[in-house]
Chains A and B, each alone.
Chain A
Amino acid sequence: MLREIQQVLRFVQLLGKRRQQSGLNVKGGLLVLVWTETGPSVQSLNCAVAAAGPWCIGINMKALQPDLKECMFPCACPCLPPDPEELCAFTDLYGSLRLLLTFQMKDASPEWCARIETFLHTYSLANAKIKIHFKFKFSQQTFQRDFSVKIKNKAGGNQRSLILDVTCRTQPPECVKKGCWCQGGHPVLGDRLPLSIPPAAMDQGLFGELSIQAVTLLSPCVLQYPNLPTQLTHIQVLVYGPSNVPVTGPSTFFQNLPAHLDCQEVGLHGLHCSSFKDLVHSGGTVYTVEQENCEDPEQESSPAPIRQSLLLYIFLQHSDPFTYQLSDMMATEVLIERHLEDILNNNKQAVTKAVQTELKNTLKAQNQRKKKMRSAAEVILGSSLSIVSSSSNMDFRNACLHSMKMSDTYDLSASLRESLRRVTSWKFTPKNICYSAQVEEYPESDEPTRTEI
């Protein structure tokens, strides 16, 4: 079922590209309805995918050739059309339908809900201008989720314009004042890496130039709090095809990647791939960052470090002057996805190095700042205490101890350390690039409006 939804999205995206519409101004709506239908012997899952709005202007359903439809859904069976009321609600928002495709699958399972939801969420992250409405009805229960991006950011080189969802979904700390927390993120565009196409893929008809473009996004953004301790807990790798549609399925290459990364160079203690269960529901590949054991109790930070996660987008790019028919372009994307493991393994060293570099560059500035503050704090405290300890001026010593309400220099040391950490950690430096907003209450979320499954 995911493949069919994938194909529809590819179709719309590639059609948009062919019409040479820039991704920047293309917005619209996507409706995905999934419902069960009980047949004579087995429960089937029906799916309707509808699109409306500027992003699919020019699509003429009547002109859609039957063989193209065949190409998109070679394995799917036709099904009944969806509830017109559902479609009405959609068209009320986005205008008349430009695309409506339906198909049916045998072997319905409620697990499809989570998988489709994850897929659509992943799609939404890299296509932030498209509002997605997902409804899954299984037996008597309904799950519904609307993906509407609050904060978008453009990230793209010459070849491709990307509109990413950079909304930060982390609650700001309680002590943060109004208007002093960045609710978005700042994607960092990496270098483009050309890839060589392995012979097996070429035999299947994959030619042209293939490359990957990496983009990293650290969340939440703490640029305005340069002294705040942070702790990277997760790294998520999402892979997208040339049409910006996510590649489905777990990737063995990325699962095994941590073993080949130099974590020390990146500034991490260690990385390991998260469990299969996490993979299915999180989209892409997720790594858990190993945390350093804190031997020194004084080093255990107060305030507690801000937990951050890093999103690593891998965008596949392909160009072939001999591929211009829509069906050929869609077939090429299918080929790329099918041979993706082979392609990545064929370029293992280069891809590993590229990922290493992107992670290092993204974390470098933050790590350097933390290191600088930490080492400077040690010098400040050491120097101050050295003078207090070695002074023969009792008035001076007593004034220092009295000021901090301490009885001896040992207690003074701990007290000064804690105080320095406290006063420097929450230093706020406003940044124009940040999406600071009123932090009265946490802003409206696009979390699912769940009617329980």
Chain B
Amino acid sequence: MSLMGSSVAELFSAIDKLRAELLNNVEVLTDCQRVEGEISHGEILSLIENVILGIVTSLSKDEAPFLALPDRSNWANISFDSAIGLRMTLGSSVTTIRSDCPSSVTKFAQILKIFVVIYKLVQSNSYATKRFFVVNSHFEKITKLATSKGLISGDLCYMEEDGTRIDCRSCSAAAAVSSNIAGIRNIVSHAKFIMIVEKDATFQRLLDDDFCTKLSPCIMITGKGVPDVNSRLMVRKLWDTLHIPILALVDADPHGIEIMCIYKYGSVSMSFEAHSLTVPSVMWLGLLPSDLQRLRVPEDVLIPLTKRDESKLSSLLKRPYLASQPEWQKEMELMQQSKVKAEIQSLAAIAPDFLTNIYLPNKLRYGGWV
């Protein structure tokens, strides 16, 4: 089937229909709602000063200071909100970091050091590229940046905070996801959909096959495996700005499904920032376990599930958000029963260009997502 022979309207009719449904059903955070969630520079300084005063007060009473942080790795502090995804609720589980214990004193000192840096940054109203800080949730709202690993390509132009103009329409090379997502302005795109690609290898393959031109207008983005915060922020930003369907292309294995869930529902460790990181409207485009049967993917490219895969799959099926995704549950149960997994590259066993020229176009044309 020739892509050029089909009209654009036919190609994207299912996509457009999906978009209409999404705009009707999904809550969209307005700008003013987002602004309400932010705190001022003065409040941040005050919060840090309160921590320091607490330390000084402890010492004045001859007590060893300690910090109490919500336990970000404990599911007891997590709840599921269908509009947002996994979010942190301040439950009873806290981690105590003591200053008088050899096993925690280094962490205590590191946190204070980070506070100093944040304090100075906020005071000077500047930002710097740093590794992501693991601190109390309030302090995530100050401007700090992490180096990104994600890539983006397609029908998209925008301007970064320092005025740099980014044009992602280059056919041969992708642009790196910006380090300062919050500073992005003037987003211009006619894309009909955004495709999240799990792996860099697949992303590069699609780039080489000129996917974005063939299925233009569209955007594709990869976080190169488990996405970093900036990649997730970018996906969220594009959703908030463009309100177009976001479709995930991941391997048909538990790891791929988990990565897709991170984009859609968030992670336990970043649950305190869920509302700016998750996109609950993400749809699973492929590779579906049912695709393997339907397309009769050769058995020699199918891989048996390991014990670890089975354990992860069971764990995924118990996640709170799966209850609202019966189609996903069916696909995962199918994988459980068949006890096999497959990478996206396995489609090359059918035909070398199967992914770009047959699989994806048909999926997009006929609404083959769940």
Contacts and interface: CB of A to CB of B under 8 A. Distances in A.
Interface of A: 226-227, 369, 372-373, 375-377, 379-380, 382-384, 386-388, 390-391, 393, 396, 399-400, 403-405, 416, 419-420, 422-424, 427, 429
A198 B322 CA distance: 76
6 contacts: A376-B108, A382-B116, A383-B115, A403-B56, A423-B63, A424-B105
B73 interface: no
B49 A387 contact: yes
B100 to A, nearest CB: 4
Contacts of B58: 423
B102 to A, nearest CB: 5
Contacts of A423: 58-59, 62-64, 100
Counting chain A CB atoms within 10 Å of each CB, which of B64, B106, B119 scores highest?
B64
Nearest to B48: A387
A403 B53 contact: yes
A419 B60 contact: yes
Nearest to A416: B59
Do most interface residues of chain A lie in helix, strand or loop, or is the interface mixed? Answer: helix
A376 B52 contact: no
Interface in B76-130: 99-102, 105-106, 108-110, 112-113, 115-116, 119-120, 123
A379 B99 CA distance: 11
A400 B119 contact: no
B338 interface: no
Given A423-B64, A423-B100, A424-B99, A403 B106 contact: no
A380 B110 CA distance: 8
A373 B59 contact: no
B116 A391 contact: no
A414 B113 CA distance: 19
B62 A404 contact: no
Given A227-B102, A373-B102, A383 B49 contact: no
Interface of B: 45-46, 48-49, 52-53, 55-60, 62-65, 99-102, 105-106, 108-110, 112-113, 115-116, 119-120, 123
A377 B109 CA distance: 7
Given A387-B115, A393-B45, A380 B64 contact: no
A419 B108 contact: no
Contact of A380 (B48, B99, B119): B99
Contacts, number: 94
A419 B115 CA distance: 21
Given A376-B105, A423-B100, A427-B100, A383 B113 contact: yes
A390 B109 CA distance: 19
A396 B52 CA distance: 9
Contacts of A388: 52, 56
Q: Which of A227, A383, A420 is most buried by chain B, counting CB atoms within 10 A of its CB?
A: A383
A431 to B, nearest CB: 13
Contact of B119 (A375, A390, A419): A390
A428 to B, nearest CB: 10
A393 B52 CA distance: 13
Given A396-B49, A404-B56, A416-B59, A376 B106 contact: yes
Contact of A404 (B60, B105, B115, B116): B60
A382 B112 CA distance: 9
Contacts of A424: 64, 99-100, 105
Contacts of B112: 379-380, 383-384
Contact of A400 (B52, B64, B123): B52
- With a 10 A CB-CB cut-off, give which of B52, B62, B63, B120 has the most chain A CB atoms: B52
A380 B51 CA distance: 12
B105 A386 contact: no
A255 to B, nearest CB: 37
A404 B119 CA distance: 22
B106 A372 contact: yes
A403 B119 contact: no
Contacts of A375: 109
B62 A400 contact: no
Contacts of A387: 48-49, 52, 115-116, 119
Given A384-B52, A386-B116, A403 B46 contact: no
Contact of A390 (B110, B113, B123): B123
A226 B64 CA distance: 14
Closest 10 CB pairs of A and B: A383-B112, A379-B109, A376-B109, A419-B59, A427-B100, A424-B100, A376-B105, A403-B60, A396-B49, A423-B64
Contacts of A369: 102
A393 B45 CA distance: 9
Given A376-B108, A379-B113, A391-B45, A419 B62 contact: yes
A227 B100 contact: yes
Contact of B99 (A400, A404, A420, A429): A420
A416 B109 contact: no
A420 B63 CA distance: 9
A190 B329 CA distance: 57
Contacts of A405: 60
Contacts of B113: 379, 383
Given A393-B49, A400-B53, A383 B64 contact: no
Kindly name the residue among B56, B102, B109, B116 whose own CB sees the greatest number of chain A CB atoms within 10 A. B56
Nearest to A426: B100
A405 B62 CA distance: 13
Nearest to A385: B52
Contacts of B119: 386-387, 390
Nearest to B63: A423
A410 to B, nearest CB: 15
Contacts of B53: 396, 399-400, 403
A373 B112 CA distance: 15
A386 B49 CA distance: 11
Contacts of B99: 376, 380, 420, 424
A442 to B, nearest CB: 27
A166 B328 CA distance: 65
A377 B105 CA distance: 8
Given A380-B99, A387-B52, A420-B99, 5 more contacts: A227-B100, A384-B56, A416-B59, A419-B62, A423-B64
